[in-house]
A and B are shown apart, each in its own frame.
Chain A
Amino acid sequence: MTHRPDLEAIAALPRLDGPGSVVPIRHYGRWASAVLVAFLGGGYLYLLATSDNMRWDVTYDSLFHPAVMSGLWLTIQLTVASMALAIVSGAMLGFMRLSQNPVLRSVSWWVIWFLRGTPLLVQLLFWYFLASLFPFLSLTIPFGPTLFSVDTNSLINQFGAAVLGLGLNEGAYMAEIYRAGILSVDKGQTEAAQSVGMSRARLMRRIVMPQAMRFIIPPTGNATISMLKTTSVVLIIGLPDLLTSVQLIYARNFQQIPLLAVACFWYLVCTTALTIVQSRLERHYSRGSRVEGGLDLVSLLGPLLRPRRASREVRP
């Protein structure tokens, strides 16, 4: 027969007295992994910092090299212009996909099918060599006079071709992001908006989109960061973006790694800035929602260091 302590003994057991009164469990795994990471990571950084082959002086001197600066500026311009085009064209394609008009729906389907189905490089070259297909772009009334005509090459230069290629290609992916975001909003929201007599356009703008933005922004942030680096493919049509400029320099001085470090430095600066913008936007559109989150810098830096945030209580 097992021994059962009497009531007095149970009542005499030590009691909890707030958070400080308990010996917490030891996380030996965390300590072990921290030591391992410090050893391996620290060793690698030490090697990098002290290696004679890693010419940090070259990296440092090239950081603000005029060619690097102009390459960086071009990369930023390309990213901003292409993403602007992607966001606009993606919104158009996305809304067309969800339209009640079957013509718009199928046009959108085919355009997305083509833009996602062919390589980006091909699309870039297509826009670049458009002049060989249509030397002049003109606005003509069918069977009537030509209103104006313009030399294709003067309208679409290298930069224009790059923006069209990158932007429209990304727009096809953005269209799906918009569509998923809109479909993720509860159908009851649409019904409630209809029941107060809102038109489709108004309920989209006032009710559905503000809620869909919470689902649209994170993948759009991803797409923008991805675009920042994808812009380096414009090398193919002869535009010196950040990475190309760096490559041109190390082709002359053979300091590949130090100069690639320069490129990485600037890419990281840009993505960090984008991440901050993204978390600001996410906070803006999380109005009225209890669970806030997203990829903010603090959670990036120390997911293990901080205790898990308790979700805010609902006020009754």
Chain B
Amino acid sequence: MTVQPSFEAGTTLAPMVVARGVEKSFGAVRVLRGIDLDVMPGQVVCLIGPSGSGKTTFLRCINLLEKIDRGLLAVDGRHIGYRVGRDGRLCEMTEREICRQRRDIGMVFQRFNLFPHMTALENVIEGPVGVLGENRREATARARELLKRVGLEHKADSFPAELSGGQQQRVAIARALAMRPKLILFDEPTSALDPELVGEVLDVMRTLAHSGMTMVIVTHEIAFARDIADLVVFMDEGQVVESGPPAEVLANPRQERTRKFLLSVRGEDGHAR
């Protein structure tokens, strides 16, 4: 277990993600009510909390799959989806600029969302070749390497429908890595998996975390969060209730709501404690 990520020479100490007072409503429902959060480069942050607490929405805002209503949400020092105009006001980005920003932010979805008409290998090279304009031969070689890293080099030519859920999710992680992102977002990556397949995905994520990748993970796997998170953030009703190292938030929560949530999760999940 590594709590302190390795800050190598050359990496700045400026946070990768900065959120200040982020608010978001769907119609009359206030999903996010002022989120403050910093994610440092190389840090692994786990967002936990009851369903409907806004964790997934917040994660989607970081990738501009949802737009925030109020506050500041910056990735790598820049507003996500907006640029500062000459008069100091925020201007909406063009589609081109948004695509550029998204390239640097990987995303792994709960339902995998692999492209079903492409093989595993084609899924992985689609971004590098089509978006980054990399040479197909080199991209293919690298994709094979990435598939090997997630333990699926033998499944390169399989279609998603021929893979198990755990294998699909590992391909999805390789697809995200192929873009050489500065940050990867995981939206409940193991929630749609059969219990016996959860482990293989978590193993890949654990290796990734140790390699120094910046990760923001929405998860229900408390034991996993304790293992790999540098920072655990407990959210409820659109707010950050408590955050800190897992040893504090998971072992000795200060807030009553956190304690209640952890108790309820442990009730059905014996190995968490």
Contacts and interface: CB of A to CB of B under 8 A. Distances in A.
Contact of B106 (A186, A193, A195, A210): A195
Nearest to A201: B95
Contacts of A197: 99-100, 102-103, 127, 131-132, 179
A283 interface: no
Interface in A199-222: 199-200, 202, 206-207, 210-211
Interface in B159-180: 159-162, 164, 172, 175-176, 179
Contacts of A189: 113, 115
A312 B208 CA distance: 35
B83 to A, nearest CB: 17
A192 B124 CA distance: 12
Given A191-B109, A211-B117, A316 B126 contact: no
Contacts, number: 80
B161 A195 contact: no
A196 B176 CA distance: 7
A288 B117 contact: yes
Interface in A277-296: 285, 287-290
Contact of A196 (B102, B111, B117): B102
B116 A198 contact: no
A141 interface: no
Nearest to B106: A195
Contact of B130 (A202, A210, A290, A314): A202
Contacts of B99: 194, 197-199
B130 A195 contact: no
Contacts of A287: 117, 159
A196 B116 contact: no
A206 B158 contact: no
- Which of A197, A287, A315 counts the most chain B CB atoms within 10 A? A197
Contacts of B161: 288-290, 314
Contact of B175 (A196, A200, A288): A196
Interface of B: 63, 65, 95-96, 99-100, 102-103, 105-107, 109, 111, 113-119, 126-127, 130-132, 158-162, 164, 172, 175-176, 179
Given A192-B172, A194-B63, A287-B117, 17 more contacts: A186-B113, A191-B107, A191-B113, A192-B109, A194-B99, A195-B63, A196-B102, A196-B131, A197-B100, A197-B102, A198-B99, A198-B127, A199-B96, A210-B117, A288-B117, A288-B118, A314-B162
